[in-house]
A and B are shown apart, each in its own frame.
Chain A
Amino acid sequence: MTAQESHDTVSNSSRDQKGDEGAGRPVGAPRRERGTRVRRQRVRAAWLFLTPMLIGLLLVAGWPLLRTFWFSLTDASLSSLEGSQFIGLENYLVFDDGWYGILADSLWWQSVWNTLYFTLVSVSLEAVLGVIVALVLNAHFRGRTLVRAAMLIPWAIPTVVSAKIWAWMLNDQFGIINHMLLGLGLIDAPLSWTADASLSMWAVIIVDVWKATPFVALLVLAALQMLPSDCYEAAKVDGIHPVRVFFRVTLPLITPALLVAIIFRALDALRVFDVIYVLTSNAASTMTMSIYARQQLVEFQDVGYGSAASTLLFMIIALITVVYLYIGRRQLGGGS
């Protein structure tokens, strides 16, 4: 620790000295010593100030995660967490006159597929819609503040509430969506959005896109407002078509912000739980990894098996994050 501090002191002493001079302190050897002492005191204080936060994160994130990993190797149940036995990888895969375990469970693989499908479709739609909304909000027109405030409303509504509202609007008998579609002659008979296995995933996607698009739009809008105006003036003078300007100038410039928004949204979508639990409960056609894991853990009380599912979910998300960051960094690095 002392070696680290003295190393930092050397690299930062000039900054501290400058502060001392600025305040008109007496010059000479004591100043340097004083700077070192202050510096050391500050580093000590920094660790002291970080401790409560680190203890908090250890208590609610680090330790529980390790326990989940451990439970996944035991036969723990919700009623007897303490009396659990180590059973190795049996929760994941075991051969006992046929393969058993999560990796042999077709419902698990379906929930993996559902999660990936949901993430890919909803995040893509949110990115496209988000850019359109951001472009509109970036234009100068009267009432822009009002429109921006309205766009924030879906984001602010609790997920459970938005799922309930859409469940009512998508209701098969009395829902307004079916009423509209029938009125426009687009469908002949009411659709059962949440019960029909081929439609329920789309119902979930509709709700998620509605709720999350404002988030993407805001991040992209912030990037749009920081763009230099001179390239647009140059493009205008040269008479280049606005659509071409968008794809050649605007889109490349907002790509970093868009990528950040997409990774945030993708991480949220990969762990999606609330909207599906409220809209379609434990139906197989919309079961995601989080729903699967919680059902095993809480409803079937099988903590060992559920923890194994949680562990796999964690691994998959970590893997996707690492790959995404790697590709994103390489592409951005190559581009600039």
Chain B
Amino acid sequence: MTLRTLKGIVLKIGFWVLVAVLMVYAIFPFYYAVVTSLKPSSELFQVSYWVDSVDFSNYAAVLSQPTFLAAIRNSVIVAVSVVLIALLLGLTAAWALGRVRFRGRTTVMMIVLGVSMFPQVAVLSGLFEVIRTLDLYNSPGGLILSYTIFTLPFTVWILTTFMRQLPDELEEAAIVDGASPWVTLTKVFMPLLWPAMATTGLLAFIAAWNEFLFALTFTLTDSQRTVPVAIALISGGSQYELPWGPIMAASVIVTVPLVVLVVIFQRRIVSGLTAGAVKG
């Protein structure tokens, strides 16, 4: 009996150790970035595990750079536009795919799924030509256009899943009242789909905010960069003199909004991710 309780206690301690290890593993890198960003440059090269004295000089250095502020502005413009476009096109497509039976529906779903598997590099040269033809090279417009390749498929996919779950009776009542499909979509479904739209919008925002390859390739000047490219290209005098303090400060600045969003909306994000994947 005592052996059994002892075993139980050991198992319990083991479990909590495991939880602690996982927590440290998940959080420590970001925590360490915050610690580094709050150090003055003189103490940067002494490893320490906590903040002794708070010093905001790295933040001041980053936020006084006009190119970094421009990058934040560009990122916001691009991400918000991408979310709006993806939701508008995704919602109309999801109504068609989720609520109407027609021949070719499966084919369209397969096309959407196929596009979501495209490696971005595979369309790089073709997309470069399209963007240059439309005169969108080195502008947020080019990025907004190109980001639809990865935001649109999963927006359509997730919204279709949620659209299917709504009861038929709602729409039948609207049809009987003579409502057109557009009115049905905007007046009947949209109010019910707000949670799903918030989820998809959030996922699209995160994807657009984090994108790197297109942003690196389709912009040329510092004033048109987005945040990930700006951070990747921060450099010092040489390869061995990277300004780690400002880099960490910039990293914390662009990540904090995302971390706050994720912690607040974690339930929604989880439901969106699983809805998108389970059907796949």
Query: Separation in Å of the B109 CB from the closest CB of chain A?
Result: 11
Contact A158 B102 (CB under 8 A): no
Does B212 make an interface contact (CB < 8 A)? yes
Does A254 make an interface contact (CB < 8 A)? no
Which of A49, A52, A53, A157 contacts B181, CB < 8 Å? A49
Contact A147 B22 (CB under 8 A): yes
- Whose C-beta in chain A lies nearest to the C-beta of B34? A165
Which of B18, B29, B280 contacts A154, CB < 8 Å? B29
Contact A63 B32 (CB under 8 A): no
The complex places the Cα of A157 from the Cα of B169 at a distance, in Å, of 42
Contact A59 B96 (CB under 8 A): no
Does B121 make an interface contact (CB < 8 A)? yes
Contact A168 B121 (CB under 8 A): no
Contact B45 A174 (CB under 8 A): yes
The stretch that binds B, out of A16-24, A100-108, A197-205, is A16-24
| Contact partners of A66 in chain B: CB under 8 A | 126
The complex places the Cα of A165 from the Cα of B103 at a distance, in Å, of 50
| Contact partners of B209 in chain A: CB under 8 A | 158
Contact A314 B119 (CB under 8 A): yes
The complex places the Cα of A130 from the Cα of B29 at a distance, in Å, of 18
| Contact partners of A61 in chain B: CB under 8 A | 115, 118, 123, 149
The complex places the Cα of A64 from the Cα of B118 at a distance, in Å, of 11
| Contact partners of B261 in chain A: CB under 8 A | 156
Does A260 make an interface contact (CB < 8 A)? yes
- Whose C-beta in chain B lies nearest to the C-beta of A22? B172
The complex places the Cα of A20 from the Cα of B169 at a distance, in Å, of 10
| Contact partners of A64 in chain B: CB under 8 A | 123-127, 129-130
| Contact partners of A57 in chain B: CB under 8 A | 111-112, 115, 148-149, 152-153
| Contact partners of B124 in chain A: CB under 8 A | 64, 68, 293-294, 297, 306, 310
Contact B36 A161 (CB under 8 A): no
Does A187 make an interface contact (CB < 8 A)? no
Contact B152 A65 (CB under 8 A): no
| Contact partners of B168 in chain A: CB under 8 A | 15, 19
The complex places the Cα of A298 from the Cα of B217 at a distance, in Å, of 8
Chain A 1-39 against B: per-residue CB contact (8 Å), 1 yes, 0 no? Answer: 000110110011001101110110100000000000010
Contact B119 A222 (CB under 8 A): no
Does B175 make an interface contact (CB < 8 A)? yes
| Contact partners of A260 in chain B: CB under 8 A | 277-278, 280
If the complex has contacts A164-B247, A168-B244, are A53 and B92 also in contact, measured as CB distance less than 8 A?
yes
Does B62 make an interface contact (CB < 8 A)? no
Does B13 make an interface contact (CB < 8 A)? no
Does A273 make an interface contact (CB < 8 A)? yes
The complex places the Cα of A81 from the Cα of B137 at a distance, in Å, of 14
Does A118 make an interface contact (CB < 8 A)? no
The complex places the Cα of A221 from the Cα of B274 at a distance, in Å, of 10
Query: Separation in Å of the B20 CB from the closest CB of chain A?
Result: 10
| Contact partners of A12 in chain B: CB under 8 A | 101
Query: Separation in Å of the A252 CB from the closest CB of chain B?
Result: 17
Contact A294 B47 (CB under 8 A): no
Contact B126 A67 (CB under 8 A): yes
Does B84 make an interface contact (CB < 8 A)? no
Does B248 make an interface contact (CB < 8 A)? yes
| Contact partners of B51 in chain A: CB under 8 A | none
The complex places the Cα of A38 from the Cα of B179 at a distance, in Å, of 10
Query: Separation in Å of the B254 CB from the closest CB of chain A?
Result: 7
| Contact partners of A42 in chain B: CB under 8 A | 100, 181
Contact B112 A161 (CB under 8 A): no
| Contact partners of B152 in chain A: CB under 8 A | 53, 56-57
The stretch that binds A, out of B1-9, B53-61, B190-198, B263-271, is B263-271
- Whose C-beta in chain A lies nearest to the C-beta of B173? A23
Does A162 make an interface contact (CB < 8 A)? yes
Contact A161 B251 (CB under 8 A): yes
Contact B277 A53 (CB under 8 A): no
The complex places the Cα of A25 from the Cα of B262 at a distance, in Å, of 48
| Contact partners of A56 in chain B: CB under 8 A | 89, 148, 152
Which of B92, B122, B148, B176 contacts A49, CB < 8 Å? B92
The complex places the Cα of A293 from the Cα of B126 at a distance, in Å, of 13
Most interface-central of A15, A41, A218 (chain B CB within 10 A): A218
Chain A 242-273 against B: per-residue CB contact (8 Å), 1 yes, 0 no? Answer: 00000000000000010011001001001101
Ranked 6 nearest A-B pairs via Cβ: A64-B126, A19-B172, A67-B126, A271-B119, A46-B96, A45-B181
**Can you report 15 A-B residue pairs in the complex whose CB atoms are below 8 A from each other?**
A19-B173, A45-B100, A46-B181, A53-B92, A57-B149, A64-B123, A155-B262, A160-B228, A162-B29, A210-B29, A270-B119, A273-B121, A293-B121, A293-B124, A317-B119
Sample of 19 further A-B pairs with CB below 8 A, known A158-B255, A164-B231:
A19-B175, A43-B102, A46-B100, A57-B149, A60-B123, A60-B148, A64-B123, A65-B123, A145-B266, A154-B29, A171-B244, A174-B44, A214-B26, A260-B280, A270-B119, A293-B124, A310-B124, A314-B119, A318-B117
